[in-house]
Every structure is written in structure tokens, then in C-alpha cells.
Chains A and B, each alone.
Chain A
Amino acid sequence: MFTLGSVLDNDFKSTIEDFSFETEFSTNQLMLPNIEKPFEFAQSIIGLEKDLQENENQLMFHQQKKEERKERALIKGYKGTTTLAFIYEKGTVVAVDSRATSGQYIASQSVQKVVPVNEYMLGTLAGGAADCQFFLAHLGRICNLYELRNNEKISVAAASKLLNNILYSYRNYGLSVGSMICGYDTRGPQLYYIDSDGSRLKNSLFSVGSGSPFAYGVLDAGYRWDLSKEEALDLGRRAICAATFKDSYSGGTVKVYHIDENGWVKISDDDASELWYRYEEKEKKKK
């Protein structure tokens, strides 16, 4: 039966939908058993990396605690990676390595650690590959819907805030996401760091992963706002190269992307070890 109230409700709902970002993943709807302390339960079945790191002798851990391990499903967050991004006068530079490790074993040397969100935004992957890939792809879906509904491109700030809110609602569930949302919108080049703990930081340069201290060293030493495009791309490439040289959990190939007002472009894809020796030769020739 149509009452005035229900008609108004329907109208209200339809206008709200145009601007809403409610999706099945916006609010936490992870299925958990109906127990008293869902967070603690979730944490007990998900082995967080810090618990594993406490067991220094991994072999003994494997042998002695086999029974315990069977009861605990261990989802370890792999933060073995180096990704970096920075903004400068002419756009955004994103550089990543491509190694995935599983403990001491190199699982892959050709992982795609940059996920396109849309034509002018890229997301980087660090931490749990599955978590990052899923949520970044989901972010891409939401951004697409926003463009269709509102007839304008979503800003990088809004996109990063959407991802931040989704991840915040899952913050105690053992997700491992250390992603950077990099893009170019009406405000110019933008860069946000999004974490699975719920942090969202805006800055002009970030580096995430186990090799990030090494990358920061080269990046901080060479960074200026008024770099030329060639210099900026070279800086990103060198920083990742330095990180792969020092960090055993980073390596594979060095991929460099550039984002400007025309969208994102993949610039180069070089083998990390070859790159290092190429730079060394260059330095020798200079002398």
C-alpha cells in the first residue's frame, strides 16, 4: 500500500543512490561465526606476520609446532617488495620491482605490482598480493561507477578516501595492504599512501615495502620538485635498482610508469641485475 511516507522514501533512495558509494564491500560484511569476540577470533585464525617473525628458527618452528600449525590457518602478509612513487612538476612517477617471495623461496620474478585503477590513476601493491589486487580492482569498479553516475572524473583524493574507508572497516581482520594511489587530476599530480591499518597520508613521495629504506636513500638524495621528465624517471629507476641490490626480497624487473594529464604510460621494464651493472659501467665511462 502506497503511503506518502513510502513514496517519499522511494524518491529519497533513488537520489541517494546517485551519490552513494554503498557496495557490498563498503561496510564490513565479512562472514564470521556468531560469537562473542569476532575480532579476537579472526586474529587467532589469521597468523599475523609479527607472530611468525618471533620464531627466528623457522625450521624448528615447522617441525615442533606442526600440530599447532594445522589448527591455525596462516595467512602471511608478504611485504617483501619495493614500490615507490613521487610527484613532481610535470606529473607522477611510479616505480616498482617484480619479485614475490614465500619465506626464502622466490615464488615469482614477474609479478605485476602496479594495478591500473582507471586511465589516469595507478595503485601499487605491497603486502598481501591477493588483498591488494582485489581491493584495487574493486576501487577501479567504484571509480568507473562514479564517472558514469556523476559525469565527471573522480579525484585522486576521493578515490583514496573510498579505499581508506573500506580498508578501515576491515582493520582487525588481518588484511595486509600497503598501497599507494597515484594519479593526475584537476589539482595536478597527487599521491596518497593507503594502509590496511586505516591510515591515509598525502605527501610528495613515498616508498613502501621491505626495500623502502634503501629506496628512500636514493630518492631523498635526488628529489626536487622541478625535475625534468628524464631526470625524474631516471631517479625512480635508480632508487628501485638500489633497493633490489640491497634487499633480497626485492628484485626481478624494474618497471617505471609516468602519469600526466594525458593518463598513465608504462615507460620501461628492465631486469634489475642487468640495470645495476649498466649503471656501474656508465659511471666507469664517465671517469
Chain B
Amino acid sequence: MDSLVGFVGKNYVLMAGDTNAGRSIMRLKDDFDKLVQIDSHKILAKSGEIGDGNQFCNLIIRNVSLYRIRNETELTTKSVAHYTRRQLATAIRKNPYSVNLLLGGYDKKDQKGSLYYLDYLGSSKKINYGAHGYAALFVGSILDRFWKEDLDFEDGLELMKKCLREVEKRLIIGTRCFLIKMINSDGISVVEKVMINSEKKNEIEEEN
């Protein structure tokens, strides 16, 4: 039921998640931030059970901080992805975390953004674009069709909105409100909190 979308552009990574937190058919909270900041240039987008997501993301954040304090150096996105995957993999046969993740990060050394797709079963893959949840069904083909290497920020944002519009239009479960975040050399910034209303002929209302 959670929708997460992400892709890599020219020196940035754009990620979006819906802002619903619910329990069976009920929406308990409609401003829930699923794009958790790990450190200054990495975001872990979580989907799945709320409790597992919270605890697991806390685990990753604290351990990345600990590494930074002990070794006085930041981890690369690749290292964090590998560490996260390992935590999920060791847990799967004992005490599984039912969380699916998208890890996006910008590495100052390579001057490039990267995106990793992580599963609750312990799978991990470096991807250019991807999604989790029901959104993946709708958004996969759009990204296949329209994603290009080195998209500018404006084009990237337009592509993201195209994806979110499709999710709102076709997913029967109401997810109108999405939070879009961007990671680039300056760090993490909230691009928009978007409320999409496809009835109004693809107009998009913006909320601050």
C-alpha cells in the first residue's frame, strides 16, 4: 500500500513517497514522512510495516553515525547499501523485518547520485530508477519509456510528477498526497509536498 518512487538524474537523486500511514482500511496519519534521512547526503525510503520500518531505519542511522564517529569519515552509498542488505539478510530467517527500501545517496567523491533497491528478503541492486509497492506496477513502464541518462532537474521533476499522477489516477486506494525529496551536492532538500488531483485534467495543486 505504500508507494515509493525514485530515480537518478544529472548530479541528483529524486525520491518520492506517499504520506499515508494506516491500519487495514483506515488512514491514521496523512503527513507521514517515509523518506528518512540517514546522513547529510543519503535517504532511506521505507515501506511496509510501520513499526519494523521505524526500528530498522533507526538501526541503520545509528550505526552509520557510529561509524562516522569512530572512523571520522562518511560512508559511501554503496557501503550503506551493502550494510543494510546484510542486516536484512541475517534477520530474514530469524526475526524478519518486513520493510522494502529504496536507498538514494550522493557521493562527493564520484560527484554522482546512486539509487539502490532493497527488499525485505535481503536482495539489493543498484538501479537507475525504481519503485516499491503498488506504484511499481504503474510507474515501472513510465520510467522505462521516459527515463534518460542525465536528466535535468526540471525534466526530472516533470517525470516524477508524471509517475505520481499515474499512481493517483489508477491506484484504487487513495494516495493523493506525496512528498518529493532531492539529494544533490548540497545535501537533502524537500522539493515539494504535492497534492495530486487528476480529476482536474492533470492540474496539480501545490501545498507548501
Seen from chain A, the residues whose Cβ lies within 8 Å of a Cβ on chain B are 39, 164, 168, 171-172, 193, 195, 197-203, 206, 212-213, 216
Contacts and interface: CB of A to CB of B under 8 A. Distances in A.
Contacts of B32: 201
Interface stretch (B4-12, B45-53, B164-172): B45-53
Interface residues of B, number: 13
B49 A203 contact: no
A202 B21 CA distance: 11
A206 B49 contact: no
B26 A171 contact: no
Contacts of B52: 198
A168 B55 contact: yes
Interface in B76-123: 95
Contacts of A200: 50-51, 54
22 contacts: A168-B51, A171-B51, A195-B23, A197-B49, A198-B50, A198-B54, A198-B55, A199-B21, A199-B23, A199-B49, A199-B51, A199-B54, A200-B51, A200-B54, A201-B21, A201-B28, A202-B29, A203-B28, A206-B28, A212-B26, A213-B26, A216-B26
The 4 nearest A-B residue pairs measured at CB = A198-B51, A199-B50, A199-B51, A203-B29
A39 B95 contact: yes
Given A195-B51, A202-B29, 9 more contacts: A39-B95, A164-B54, A168-B55, A197-B49, A197-B50, A198-B51, A198-B52, A201-B32, A203-B29
A195 B54 CA distance: 13
A172 B50 CA distance: 14
Nearest to B55: A168
Contacts of A168: 51, 55
Contacts of B51: 164, 168, 171, 195, 197-200
Contact of B28 (A172, A193, A198): A193
Nearest to B21: A201
A164 B21 CA distance: 17
Contacts of B21: 199, 201
B18 to A, nearest CB: 15
Contacts of A193: 28
Contacts of B49: 197-199
Contacts of A198: 49-52, 54-55
Nearest to B25: A213
Nearest to B50: A199
B29 A201 contact: yes
A195 B50 CA distance: 10
Contacts of B55: 168, 198
B59 to A, nearest CB: 11
Interface in B39-73: 49-52, 54-55
A253 B170 CA distance: 44
A202 B29 CA distance: 8
B174 to A, nearest CB: 15
Contacts of B23: 195, 199
A130 to B, nearest CB: 21
Nearest to B27: A216
Nearest to A201: B29
Contacts of B28: 193, 201, 203, 206
B101 to A, nearest CB: 17
A198 B51 CA distance: 4
Contacts of B95: 39, 172
A216 B25 CA distance: 13
Contacts of B50: 195, 197-201
Nearest to A199: B50
